A and B are shown apart, each in its own frame.
Chain A
Amino acid sequence: MNTQIDSNYTPDALIVGGGIAGLQSALDLADQGLQVLVVERQSSIGGHMIALSKVYPTLDCASCITTPKMSAAAHHPNIQILTNTEVEAIESRDGAHQVRLLQKPTYVNFDKCIGCRLCEYACDTEYPDPFEEGLGAVRAIAVPFTNAIPQKAVLDAAHCGTCGTCARVCPTGAIEFDQQPRHLTIRTDAVIVASGFQLNAVTVKPQFNAHRSRNIIAPITLERLLAPHGPYGRVLRPSDGKMPSSIAFVQCAGSRDESIGVPYCSRVCCMYSIKQAMLLSGALPLADITIYYMDIRAFGKGYEQFYQNAKAMGINFVRGKVARIHPVDGGDLAVQVESTENAETPMEPRRHDLVVLAQGMIPGWMPADSTPVACASDGFVATPALTAPTATTAPGIFVAGTAAGPKDIVDTIAEAGSAAMQASQYLYQKRSALVAV
């Protein structure tokens, strides 16, 4: 736990979330000479992006783009970072804000921890690694992942066997089993909500039977399988470790569907599925890859060309809505498609040995419950101003990235810059008004 930051620290701006949006906003404010505090609820900054394998349309490795931004933020003299910390509430008065934070115990004193990982090596309790989507194992006390920031061990109390080995091997005496949650209130003039998204469950549509087969996976699981530094170093299907030979991508499996309460488009699934299909055809040159879709939404710069390349590479694009998925023998899946392309066999089930469901993006945090920020009917932060897409309903509180609706990384980064611009303007005007008085 980082205890160096206390209520006497009054940053110019506080940023909720240390994903790509929050980091970009933080850097764009700090580069203007403003003091910024980034609050992240996970054990490392980097958000969803740091777990991706490669990113479209350039196919840069995601780490190569994310780690430098993480590192730049961590080293910036004007940026402070609090991980394992949640925003409990924001109270705003006269355009200034009191942000109530809850620092969760990590059972490691961050001032003493040097990231040597001796505790991690000595710990004999393992559990499925959340960073690897449960495919690998992680010790109960561990640095969250290779390129995590901060490089500090964090103890997972739910899995700790309380044997005390970590405390015995720690060369700096950093382990503190008696750590308690710490409440902290930070006063600041501007807040940027960059709380991101989460994905709805792969089981959200019961007719897809994701609860009945381990070979129906989430796209983020496939990201980890495709990552060169992922759990297996290659693509193996979860149930039996077989190399898949026929992979299906089911689009809109958690979006554009009023029956599950997500009527909107999640905006990124078409493109990441095409990207994953391309990477898969590289990793498994003999595999058949099929994308079942309603509309291919390749709208961004260079995206349509990326889609056309995928078609040219031999990836099958089948226009049709998947109705049902059933587990069949051998761990395989029967995918029933209402295809619009073949009049004779519109509902014939097609056999695949791995199915990827394109989940929908839903809000990562509901600030309306505890802050003056209102949300729209889709659950994401409302941005009613006609000419300021990053202004929320609360003066001095701005929003960036997927907290204001699904968005890809490129659009998120642009919006994060815009939110930083709005926040710095707000600060400038507030302070020039003070000087004038």
Chain B
Amino acid sequence: MSYQNDHQGQHEDEPVELECGEPGRDEEAYVRKQIELARRQADASPSAAIAAQQHQEDSPSLRIGVYICRCGGNISDVVDVERVAETVRLIPGVATAKVHTFVCSDPGQHTISDDILYENLDRVVVASCTPFLHEQTFRGAVARGGMNPYLYEHVNIREQVSWAHRHDPAGATSKAIRMISAAIGKLRHVAPLDQIKLPNHRRALVIGGGIAGLKAASDLAGRGIKVLLVEIADKLGGHLNQWGRVYPSERAAEELVADLVNAVGRNPNIEVLLSSKVKTVSGFIGNFKVAVESQSGANGATQKLNAVVGAIIMATGFRPYIPQDGEFLYRTEPTVLTLPEFVQLMRSISHDAKRLVYKEKNVRNIAFLHCVGSRQLDGVHEPSTDGRLNSYCSRTCCTTILQQALAVRTRFPQIGVFDFNQDIRTYGRGEEDYYAQASRAGVVFFRYNGEEPPRVEITPAGRAKDGALSITVKDALTWGQELTVGVDMLVLGTGMIPGQIQDLIEQMKLAIGEDGFLQEVHPKLRPVEVAVNGVLLAGTAQGPMNIQETLAAAGAAAVKAASMFATESVELNPYVAAVDLTRCTGEAQCVTQCDYEGALQIVQMEVDGEWVERAQVNAGLCAGCGACVAVCPHRAIDLNGWRIDQFDAMVDGIAADIPGRECGSELVSIH
């Protein structure tokens, strides 16, 4: 095997020739090579020199544990994990390299903490799935072993290796080894870090006074936590203020709203601001600064209120889908209504009415059309004005339609009811019963394919015996026959679309999903959290939900806030920028480049007995993006945990010659 030195140091030594076949020699040569690399690195740059010095100081005690996960077979079906372990073991400083079926499992984590204790490890690498899933898990395991959790490196050999290169096992194995080698390189240059501790303001801001916001607020207040509840309307309750009976309890929506509003009203821990809007949000978990603008009184005067809160619950809800003009003749024909409009109509009719009269006409038959504005398909449906298709299911319309259809048949048995659906999604507890009852009550069901939605037309004059609107469907229940039904009224089963909170999304840097709703970090691991720490999601701001689901989601958001407030201070990752005051000249290029308001500023301070201007980092606001590092002409700012010399070491780790039992080209081929 020939070793070609490609390290661009200041010295160019002769390439070192190594012979293959004697593993012992390979290893020895590799160690020599590593020492040589470190020496050249030390000459290359001053920061690397410091690092290399640290490395030399650390080296005698450096004992790295490497844990390679099979992930069931997700990794090991492609990557030869045993060979990875075997090879990695030969890298200097590696005290142990082990393979485990699931390193994230309890026995896997135990192995790590036990090895730290009994094998005196001082650095740990886990090569498994994305750090997004389990970096925190392994930091915890490392901490339980008594080691600083930031002397740990995570290597993603699943998403970045086994899944990406499933048709190239040899290349994948080689890449896994190199990525671990990079992590080991970095670990030679890391120092223990401590989490940043910041004071925690034990008060939550709940944005939105619909049922999600009311529930989250009353849950937190009931637990002794102060809440500021901000509602844009002049009344609490949200959409349910305009609703009839709710399924499956069939209780009045007013009753449900009143229950929640009373719970909020009773609790002295909650301050409610109506007709109010959150104008600005700044700060960070435990310390958000918010400005709220309220319209007060009849004269429309605005009042401003500033508050500091520790957590923000987004209970901003949804908007009902409004069909486009002419969509299924909506706004063209007055007898085409949306589902909420129909619910209003039913509410407005007196209990003893024998007939359903609308626009002074007796309604003899009604059609309900499912999935209007939901489950939209590319090429079939017109995108909204913002260019988006609502490809998701709105979750609540099927049961609401059946509830209304059943109500019509029960109250006005003479009215014929026709239901046009793709699928009936009465999935929830007590919901299937509406379907069964509606069928029994004589609702006639037609089924269309999503690709061919029914056509709605004005019935040609002279044929309008059954009604002014004709609905033509290719009915899957009768083997695709084309059927036309004439009706007096058409109810469009409109669903939910995201709320209009663009200003908050931009200010708070929230992520939205493909569906336009607020996006959680992970649907199962962190279902109510977003990437911004301390901001939580409650209810339909996150996606369509029914009432029970919304209330549960609000509770889930509240419990996360309650857990957050259980400690005196909030702890943040230490990956923030740090200024080297001996190099900083106060030019403020970093401040200009910084995207996070308040994270970097120039302040007067005393350095070596002189009053000078220097950059200062606010650790709570710094997102650790590194933009400042890139622009500083004096290399005076760097990121803790991701320093430039650490990156250099990783690159060297990737490029380093890797010892191994085979000399084939596969070991050095990186795909």
Contact = CB atoms under 8 A, between A and B. Distances in A.
> Which of B219, B377, B479, B563: most chain A Cβ within 10 A?
B563
Given A64-B133, A68-B137, A421 B562 contact: yes
B222 A414 contact: no
B427 interface: yes
> Which of A267, A343, A404, A414: most chain B Cβ within 10 A?
A414
Contact of A428 (B108, B223, B447, B553): B223
Contact of A64 (B104, B429, B478, B557): B104
A419 B558 CA distance: 11
A63 to B, nearest CB: 6
Given A265-B426, A341-B480, A387 B559 contact: no
A89 B104 CA distance: 35
A185 interface: no
A432 B224 contact: yes
Contacts of B110: 151
Contacts of A429: 222
Given A390-B555, A411-B552, A417-B556, A425 B223 contact: yes
Interface in A409-426: 409-411, 413-422, 424-425
A387 B259 contact: yes
B562 to A, nearest CB: 5
Interface stretch (B5-13, B306-314, B355-363, B522-530): B522-530
A341 B109 CA distance: 53
Contacts of A93: none
B71 A64 contact: yes
Nearest to B371: A304
B549 interface: yes
Contact of B553 (A115, A256, A387, A414): A414
Interface stretch (B201-209, B228-236, B387-395): B387-395
A264 B215 contact: no
A68 B108 CA distance: 11
A31 B563 contact: yes
A378 interface: yes
Contacts of B432: 256, 263-265
Interface stretch (A69-77, A99-107, A209-217, A242-250): A69-77
B104 A68 contact: yes
Interface stretch (B72-80, B167-175, B327-335): B72-80
A411 B430 CA distance: 16
Contact of B392 (A31, A64, A264, A304): A304
Interface stretch (A54-62, A166-174, A193-201, A324-332): A54-62
A28 B563 contact: yes
B505 interface: no
A157 interface: no
Contact of A387 (B140, B144, B215, B544): B215
Contacts of A295: 423-425
A80 B491 CA distance: 54
Interface string B538-564: 000011100011011111111110110
B428 interface: yes
B47 to A, nearest CB: 36
B301 interface: no
Given A265-B432, A386-B255, A428 B480 contact: no
A380 interface: yes
B107 interface: yes
B106 A424 contact: no
A179 interface: no
B162 to A, nearest CB: 11
A36 interface: no
A296 B423 contact: yes
Contacts of A146: 101-102, 105, 107
Given A68-B104, A74-B106, A340-B476, A409 B433 contact: no
A151 B256 contact: no
Given A63-B102, A64-B129, A432-B224, A404 B429 contact: yes
Nearest to B255: A386
A305 B391 contact: yes
> Which of B427, B430, B513, B542: most chain A Cβ within 10 A?
B427
Contacts of B513: 301-302
Contacts of A147: 101-102, 105-108
Contacts of A405: 428-429
B425 A343 contact: no
Contacts of B431: 265
A233 interface: yes
Contacts of A228: 71-74, 77
A298 interface: yes
A421 B527 contact: no
Contacts of B36: none
A364 interface: no
> Which of B375, B517, B551: most chain A Cβ within 10 A?
B551
B134 interface: yes
Nearest to A234: B73
Contact of A413 (B249, B556, B566): B556
Contact of B73 (A233, A319, A411): A233
A387 B105 contact: no
Nearest to B564: A31
B298 interface: no
Interface string A169-213: 000000000000000000000000000000000000000000000
Contacts of A55: 524
A418 B447 CA distance: 37
B260 interface: yes
B531 interface: no
Contact of B72 (A31, A227, A342): A227
Contacts of A63: 71-72, 102, 104-105
A388 B550 CA distance: 11
A33 interface: yes
Interface string B41-67: 000000000000000000000000000
A387 B263 contact: yes
A28 B393 contact: no
A3 interface: no
Contact of A418 (B137, B249, B393, B555): B555
A378 B430 CA distance: 9
A229 B219 CA distance: 42
Contacts of B524: 55, 58, 60, 65, 409-410, 413
A342 B477 CA distance: 10
Interface in A223-260: 227-229, 233, 256
Contacts of B551: 387-389, 418
B515 interface: yes
Nearest to B216: A421
Interface in B388-405: 391-393, 395
Given A67-B106, A71-B137, A424 B552 contact: no
B34 to A, nearest CB: 34
A416 B553 CA distance: 10
Interface in B104-141: 104-110, 129, 133-134, 137, 140
A299 interface: yes
Given A31-B563, A147-B106, A229-B73, A428 B476 contact: no
A149 interface: yes
Contacts of B528: 414, 417
Contact of A414 (B107, B256, B549): B549
A370 interface: no
A116 to B, nearest CB: 11
Contacts of A28: 559-560, 563
Given A256-B432, A263-B433, A264-B432, A151 B72 contact: no
Contact of B429 (A71, A151, A264, A420): A264
A33 B224 CA distance: 14
Contacts of A264: 429-430, 432-433
5 contacts: A61-B74, A68-B525, A75-B106, A75-B109, A417-B559
8 closest Cβ pairs, A-B complex: A418-B555, A228-B73, A417-B556, A147-B105, A343-B479, A31-B563, A228-B72, A295-B423
